[in-house]
Amino acid sequence: MEGILDSYMRFLATLTPAYFFELFWFYFVFEFIRYFFLEFIVLNLYKIKSWTQRDKKEDARRRLFLENPLVSILIPGKNEGKHLYKLANSLSEQTYKNIEIIVVDDGSDDETPIIGRSLEKAGLIDTFIRNELRGGKASAANCALRFAKGKYIIHLDADCSYDNDAMEKILIPFFMDNRVGGVGGNVSVRNYNESLVTTLQGIEYFNTITTGRTVTSYLGIYRIISGAFGAFRADVLDQLKGWDIGPGLDGDITVKIRKKGYKIAFAEDANCLTSVPNTFKKLIKQRLRWDKSLVRFRMRKHRDILIPNQSFKFSNFISAFENITYNVLLNFKWYVYLGIMLTYYRPLFLNIFITNILLYTTTNYVKFVVYSLYRPKAHVSMSYFLVYLPCMVLYYGMYLRAVRTVAYLQEFFFKKSYQDPWNPRKTSIHGEYLGI
Amino acid sequence: MKHFETHNYKSNFVLEQGQYSYVYIRNFEIPPLEEIADHDAVVIEVKNLDFVRLIVNAVRSNLDPDIYLTPIFLLKKDVLDDVPYIEELVDGSIKSLDDLGFVNKEIDKINIRKNSLNITSSVSFEAQVITKLIALMYVRELKVLNPIPDKYSNLYYSFPFMAINFEEKEEHLALKILNLAEEEGMLRSEYFDRVYLCSSCSGSHMSYREVCPKCSSSNTTPDDIIHHFPCGYVGPMKDFSNEIDDKLDCPKCNKRLRHIGVDYDKPSVIHHCNNCSHNFQDYNVNAKCMSCHTDRSVETLKAHDIKTYRLTKKGELAAIKGFTSTSKDIEDVVGTVKYDTFKTMLKYEIERLKQTLGDSNLCAIHIGNSSQVYSKLGSELQRGVFKDLVSVIRSNIRSSDVIAFWSSSTIVVSMNDIPHKIALRITGEMVELLSELIKSSFDDLEVNFETKTVALDYRKPHEMQLRELLAEFD
Ligand SMILES: [Zn+2]
Ligand SMILES: [Zn+2]
Ligand SMILES: [Zn+2]
Identify the residue among A109, A134, A252, A427 best suited for mutation to test binding to B, counting B beta carbons within 10 A and taking the highest. Answer: A427
Residues of chain B with C-beta less than 8 angstroms from the C-beta of A238: none
Q: What is the mean pLDDT of chain A?
A: 88
Q: Which of B224, B258, B282 is the last residue of a domain?
A: B282
Indicate whether B324 pLDDT > 50.
yes
Q: Write the pLDDT tens digit of every residue in A100-154.
A: 999 999 999 999 999 999 999 999 999 999 999 999 999 999 999 999 999 999 9
Query: Mind giving me the DSSP string for A260-320?
Result: TT-EEEEEEEEEEEEPPPSSHHHHHHHHHHHHHHHIIIIIIITGGGGS-STT--HHHHHHH
Helix (H, G, I), strand (E, B) or coil at B197: strand
**Cα B340 from Cα B330, distance rounded (Å):** 13
Indicate whether A378 pLDDT > 70.
no
Expressed in angstroms and rounded, the spacing between residue B211 Cα and the centre of ligand 1 is: 8
**Cα B378 from Cα B374, distance rounded (Å):** 7
Residue B469 · residue B452 · CB < 8 Å: yes
| SS3 labels along A341-407 | HHHHCHHHHHHHHHHHHHHHHHHHHHHHHHHHCCCCCCCCCCHHHHCCCCHHHHHHHHHHHHHHHHH
Indicate whether B100 pLDDT > 50.
yes
Report for A80-84, A370-374, A407-411: range of highest mean pLDDT: A80-84
Contact B230 A142 (CB under 8 A): no
Report for A3-7, A109-113, A382-386: range of highest mean pLDDT: A109-113
Helix (H, G, I), strand (E, B) or coil at B64: coil
Contact A117 B233 (CB under 8 A): no
Q: Sorting pLDDT into bands at 50, 70 and 90, what band is A418?
A: confident
Q: Which strand (E) or helix (H) includes residue A22?
A: helix A17-25
Strands (E), B229-334: 233-236, 264-273, 279-280, 284-289, 295-297, 302-311
Report every protein residue that has its C-beta within 5 angstroms of ion ligand 2: B 228, 231, 233, 250, 252-253
- What homologous superfamily does CATH list for A69-279? Spore Coat Polysaccharide Biosynthesis Protein SpsA; Chain A (3.90.550.10)
C-alpha separations of B274 from A104, A130, B207, B211, B277 in Å: 22, 21, 20, 11, 5
Strands (E), B298-448: 302-311, 361-367, 403-407, 410-415
Contact A131 B268 (CB under 8 A): yes
Q: What is the mean pLDDT of residues B389-408?
A: 84
**Cα B377 from Cα B246, distance rounded (Å):** 81
Residues of chain B with C-beta less than 8 angstroms from the C-beta of A139: 227, 232-234, 267
Q: Sorting pLDDT into bands at 50, 70 and 90, what band is B10?
A: low
Indicate whether B6 pLDDT > 60.
no
Torsion region of B192: left, alpha or beta (phi above 0 gives left; psi -120 to 50 gives alpha): alpha
Percent residues over pLDDT 90 in chain A: 45
Residues of chain A with C-beta less than 8 angstroms from the C-beta of B213: 120-121
Q: What is the mean pLDDT of residues B54-71?
A: 88
- Name the residue ranges covered by the structural domains of chain A: 2-44+314-434, 69-279
Instruction: Say whether residue B232 is in contact with chain A using an 8 A CB cutoff.
Output: yes
Query: What is the length of chain B?
Result: 474
Residues in CB range of B131: below 8 A, 6 or more apart: B119, B120, B122, B319, B322, B323
Indicate whether B368 pLDDT > 90.
no
What does the DSSP 8-state code read for residue B251?
A: T
Pair type for strands B264-273 and B361-367? unpaired
Residue A401: phi and psi, rounded to 5, are -65, -40
pLDDT of residue A312: 72
Nearest-5° Cα angle at A299, A297 to A300: 65
Residue B245: phi and psi, rounded to 5, are -130, -175
Out of A121, A129, A243, whose CB is closest to B232?
A: A243
Contact B230 A121 (CB under 8 A): no
Residues of chain B with C-beta less than 8 angstroms from the C-beta of A138: 232
Helix (H, G, I), strand (E, B) or coil at B125: helix
Out of B235, B267, B277, whose CB is closest to A131?
A: B267
Q: Among the listed ranges A257-266, A425-434, B108-117, B278-287, which one has the minimum average pLDDT value?
A: A425-434
**Cα B187 from Cα B184, distance rounded (Å):** 8
Please report whether residue B306 resides in a domain: no
User: Quick one: B339 and B461 in the same domain?
Assistant: yes
Residue A230 · residue A182 · CB < 8 Å: yes
Indicate whether A274 pLDDT > 70.
yes
CATH of the domain at B400: 3.30.70.270
User: Quick one: B133 and B264 in the same domain?
Assistant: no
Q: Sorting pLDDT into bands at 50, 70 and 90, what band is A178?
A: very high
**Cα B304 from Cα B192, distance rounded (Å):** 11
**Cα B281 from Cα B234, distance rounded (Å):** 15
pLDDT of residue A123: 92
Interface of A with B in 77-136 (CB under 8 A): 107, 117, 120-121, 127-136
**Cα B125 from Cα B119, distance rounded (Å):** 15
Instruction: Say whether residue B331 is in contact with chain A using an 8 A CB cutoff.
Output: no
CB atoms within 10 A of CB B317: 13
Q: What is the mean pLDDT of chain B?
A: 85
Residue of A nearest to B283 (CA): A121
User: Quick one: B330 and B466 in the same domain?
Assistant: yes
Indicate whether A300 pLDDT > 70.
yes
Pair type for strands B41-45 and B72-75? parallel
**Cα B230 from Cα A244, distance rounded (Å):** 8
pLDDT of residue B8: 60
Q: Sorting pLDDT into bands at 50, 70 and 90, what band is B4?
A: very low
Chain centroid to CA B79: 34
Indicate whether A392 pLDDT > 80.
yes
Q: Which of B369, B362, B345 is nearest to B465 (CA)?
A: B362
pLDDT of residue A377: 66
Residues of chain A with C-beta less than 8 angstroms from the C-beta of B268: 129-133
Q: What is the mean pLDDT of residues B336-340?
A: 84
Residues of chain A with C-beta less than 8 angstroms from the C-beta of B251: 241
User: Quick one: B46 and B103 in the same domain?
Assistant: yes
Q: Sorting pLDDT into bands at 50, 70 and 90, what band is B3?
A: very low
Residue of B nearest to A142 (CA): B234
Residues of chain A with C-beta less than 8 angstroms from the C-beta of B278: 127
Q: Compute and round to an integer the Cα radius of gyration of chain B.
A: 33
Residues of chain B with C-beta less than 8 angstroms from the C-beta of A242: 232-234, 252
Residues of chain B with C-beta less than 8 angstroms from the C-beta of A430: 229-230, 263
Helix (H, G, I), strand (E, B) or coil at B406: strand
pLDDT of residue B123: 67
Tally of domains in chain B:
3
Identify the residue among B227, B258, B270, B276 best suited for mutation to test binding to A, counting A beta carbons within 10 A and taking the highest. Answer: B227
Residue B59 · residue B67 · CB < 8 Å: yes
Expressed in angstroms and rounded, the spacing between residue B195 Cα and the centre of ligand 3 is: 14
Q: What is the mean pLDDT of residues A296-321?
A: 77
Residues in CB range of B460: below 8 A, 6 or more apart: B350
Q: Which of A384, A385, A386, A374 is nearest to A269 (CA)?
A: A374
**Cα A185 from Cα A187, distance rounded (Å):** 6
Domain membership of residue B452 as a residue range? 324-473
pLDDT of residue B392: 85
**Cα A408 from Cα A331, distance rounded (Å):** 9
C-alpha separations of A143 from A127, A243, A311, B135, B258 in Å: 11, 10, 30, 68, 20
Expressed in angstroms and rounded, the spacing between residue A422 Cα and the centre of ligand 2 is: 20
Q: Sorting pLDDT into bands at 50, 70 and 90, what band is B5?
A: very low
Question: pTM for the complete prediction?
Answer: 0.69
Residues of chain B with C-beta less than 8 angstroms from the C-beta of A434: 230
Residue of A76 and B122 predicted with greater confidence:
A76
Residue B108 · residue B272 · CB < 8 Å: no
Q: What is the mean pLDDT of residues B443-451?
A: 82
Pair type for strands B157-158 and B148-149? antiparallel
C-alpha separations of B23 from A284, B26, B37, B78 in Å: 98, 10, 10, 21
Out of B234, B278, B281, whose CB is closest to A142?
A: B234
Residues of chain B with C-beta less than 8 angstroms from the C-beta of A130: 268, 281
Out of B239, B252, B281, whose CB is closest to A129?
A: B281
Q: Which ligand has the nearest atom to the CA of B196? A: 3
Report every protein residue that has its C-beta within 5 angstroms of ion ligand 3: B 198, 200-201, 203, 289, 291-292
Please report whether residue B387 resides in a domain: yes
What does the DSSP 8-state code read for residue B249?
A: B
pLDDT of residue B7: 59
Strands (E), B368-419: 403-407, 410-415
Identify the residue among A244, A249, A418, A432 best suited for mutation to test binding to B, counting B beta carbons within 10 A and taking the highest. Answer: A244
What does the DSSP 8-state code read for residue B263?
A: T
Expressed in angstroms and rounded, the spacing between residue A128 Cα and the centre of ligand 1 is: 15
Residue ranges of the alpha helices (H) in A68-211?
81-91, 112-121, 137-146, 166-176, 196-205
Residue A188 · residue A209 · CB < 8 Å: yes
Residues of chain A with C-beta less than 8 angstroms from the C-beta of B232: 135-136, 138-139, 142, 242-245, 427
Percent residues over pLDDT 90 in chain B: 20
Nearest-5° Cα angle at B216, B215 to B221: 95
Task: List, edge to edge, every strand of the sheet that includes B449-455.
Answer: B403-407, B410-415, B361-367, B449-455
Contact B232 A131 (CB under 8 A): no
C-alpha separations of A132 from A129, B90, B213, B267, B294 in Å: 10, 57, 21, 5, 35
Q: Among the listed ranges A99-108, A401-410, B208-217, B400-409, which one has the minimum average pLDDT value?
A: B400-409
Residues in CB range of B384: below 8 A, 6 or more apart: none
Indicate whether A27 pLDDT > 80.
yes
User: Quick one: B113 and B166 in the same domain?
Assistant: yes
Please report whether residue B77 resides in a domain: yes
Expressed in angstroms and rounded, the spacing between residue B282 Cα and the centre of ligand 3 is: 25
**Cα B399 from Cα A408, distance rounded (Å):** 101
Residue of B nearest to A246 (CA): B232
Contact A135 B234 (CB under 8 A): yes
Q: What is the mean pLDDT of residues A313-331?
A: 79
Instruction: Say whether residue B272 is in contact with chain A using an 8 A CB cutoff.
Output: no
Residue of A322 and B372 predicted with greater confidence:
A322
Identify the residue among A72, A100, A241, A422 best suited for mutation to test binding to B, counting B beta carbons within 10 A and taking the highest. Answer: A241
Q: Write the pLDDT tens digit of every residue in B155-188.
A: 788 888 888 888 776 777 888 888 888 988 889 9
Half-sphere exposure of B247 (CA within 13 A, CB side): 10
pLDDT of residue B379: 62
Residue B56 · residue B44 · CB < 8 Å: yes
ipTM of the complex: 0.88
User: Quick one: B35 and B182 in the same domain?
Assistant: yes
Count of A-B CB contacts under 8 Å:
90
Instruction: Say whether residue A173 is in contact with chain B using an 8 A CB cutoff.
Output: no
Amino acid (1-letter code) at residue A330: L
User: Quick one: B127 and B81 in the same domain?
Assistant: yes
Contact B225 A128 (CB under 8 A): no
Residue B195 · residue B159 · CB < 8 Å: no
